Structure 1
């Protein structure tokens, strides 16, 4: 079998998100006008934008991510324009705010519970360079993981590099999910596995998140997932197929080795290889991948590697949020999350 690179394009991303079930497009566009315009990518995501099972969009906070080339300059302009969005860190200057963004946690700076006309929003700011690295290498899986799921692209990618990275991030998610699935699976199981990748090892799934979060996401957006991953599935047509809601794949060592060889650098070369070599031997990356391809129990190493990526980053990002949001907003935000969690436990 000879793998080939997908022809997935930025235009495909645009057509997919335009056809998704979007809440109040005018509201999303209005929100963008409240911020400095120098963004290399802007998107909205989550339950405030897309339908989720057992989760009405009405009254939900809407989440945004903004990628910017110059974080310090962007924060300087935004502090001047929207000073009330920031915690006490604004008094230390845009350089300090930018350092908190780039040097701690998942390299994202969030302002949360921001009131706007007819709603409430949360927005995260990440540098374009950090976003590219996360999409390609899965350094943190923090923003890359959000882009594994349907998102509303509001400001298209400003460069071919960013468009390519968005495409490769979806392909990486598909490779990883296939390694964790059996030879036969349902289409829903495929997207549930993809949607769960960035939550593996996330402590918030134990405390503070809806216990049915992943299944609610997939069940409310199954068609959107199918359209989003159609080009990536086509690129792997020699290894898998999905027809009428049912999927099957080649699980031979050769196919598994191909998927393993296409994993992002952080997962492949750092996490999986390090875990495989815990017996004290020092095999190189290729030897580890070939051994894992032949081992039917190697899924645990991949799952453990995903947890290694997300665990500490999510903890440090949450701690960072206490300072970037401020104590009062942090308490209010956590209370909202806990309320959703308890509601899901009662279902």
Structure 2
């Protein structure tokens, strides 16, 4: 559950930044309660993402208002900052460990077009992955294309999770699978992130996940959703799986094709997906495809973070992550 005063807090924090936002949302343990080492919601860092139509114009204004937020890259100017934002990592530029209205915050800036591409195609599954879990929408304009892409991202998350689950499963099983999509292959889950992170996100926030996915599940013709029992049943026939594979985001389809297409065959994607649909290990192949996307984007984005945050802040931020992982490990062994 979000903090009682969070609505006021979010608006006050947003007032410190340039207004031209197509979407602003807050996420993470500072917004929604998590179990485990992230359970101290009041003192947790609040994470934000700001989506902007014109990153150069936005960074120009933000450099005037909040120059101290930026690392040494501020001396290169808004055009270079935007180029680094768009062309490296996962298309997002983070300023971290910022004190704002008495709260420690981190905020990422992403171009509206880059976000729409990620939501539809899962090019990076980075910010799209954040938006597959409950977030607090703080501001949003009437961009029909963006709203449609946000909905498509949730539907794609359900489809990918279905392919990796058995014929019958619980709501919690589904939401754990969905919440884990953007952590598949993330190197930070080996070093830096608490291993039970996904479970800690889902368990205290089942109601928020139901709110996010309830109508999508009830409308889906491939699932029987027994809401009273909290159980679901899906079609695991090759025909059903082929239908699901064909609606997956383009980048994931391409990764699956790359993984399963033998050298020299050069099969088209549809032919490969038809074969995968008949494979008993279909879910494992989908998971490998997800891992390939996430591994690449998480490594690139974390490397970029050293430059955008600056060396000192990067070291502090990394030590905080490692401390949380250590606390999580201690809880499990005590």
Taking structure 2 as the reference length, the TM-score comes to 0.95
Q: Distance in 1 between matches of 2:112 and 2:104?
A: 25
Name the residue aligned to 1:95: 79
Number of residue pairs the alignment of both structures matches? 327
1:157–1:163 Cα contact (<8 Å) kept: no
The reply on whether 1:37 has 2:22 as its aligned counterpart is: no
Name the residue aligned to 2:232: 247
Name the residue aligned to 1:146: 130
- 290-299 or 100-109, which deviates more: 290-299
Name the residue aligned to 1:26: 8
1:187–1:242 Cα contact (<8 Å) kept: no
Deviation digits for residues 91-139 of structure 1 (CA, Å, limit 9, x no counterpart): 1111111111011000100000000122110000000010000000000
Unaligned runs of 5+ in 2: none
Name the residue aligned to 2:247: 262
2:96–2:107 Cα contact (<8 Å) kept: yes
Name the residue aligned to 1:82: 66
Deviation digits for residues 21-41 of structure 1 (CA, Å, limit 9, x no counterpart): 345221111111000000111
2:32–2:205 Cα contact (<8 Å) kept: yes
Secondary structure of 2:148's counterpart equals helix
Unaligned runs of 5+ in 1: 1-19
- 282-291 or 178-187, which deviates more: 282-291
Shift of residue 280, structure 1, vs aligned partner? 3.7
Name the residue aligned to 1:5: none
Name the residue aligned to 1:175: 159
1:109–1:324 Cα contact (<8 Å) kept: yes
Moved beyond 4 Å, runs of 4+: none
Written as runs of structure 1 = structure 2, the 5 A alignment for 1:55-204 is 55-204=39-188
Secondary structure of 1:221's counterpart equals helix
Secondary structure of 1:211's counterpart equals coil
Q: Distance in 1 between matches of 2:282 and 2:265?
A: 17
Name the residue aligned to 2:220: 236
Q: Distance in 1 between matches of 2:142 and 2:77?
A: 28
Name the residue aligned to 1:49: 31
Secondary structure of 1:216's counterpart equals helix
Shift of residue 238, structure 1, vs aligned partner? 3.8
Name the residue aligned to 2:311: 327
Name the residue aligned to 2:200: 216
Shift of residue 60, structure 1, vs aligned partner? 0.3
Q: Distance in 2 between matches of 1:238 and 1:210?
A: 34
Please report the RMSD computed on the Cα atoms of aligned residues, expressed in angstroms.
1.1
Shift of residue 176, structure 1, vs aligned partner? 0.2
Taking structure 1 as the reference length, the TM-score comes to 0.92
1:257–1:293 Cα contact (<8 Å) kept: yes
Q: Distance in 2 between matches of 1:63 and 1:239?
A: 34
Q: Distance in 2 between matches of 1:172 and 1:255?
A: 15
Q: Distance in 1 between matches of 2:196 and 2:330?
A: 11
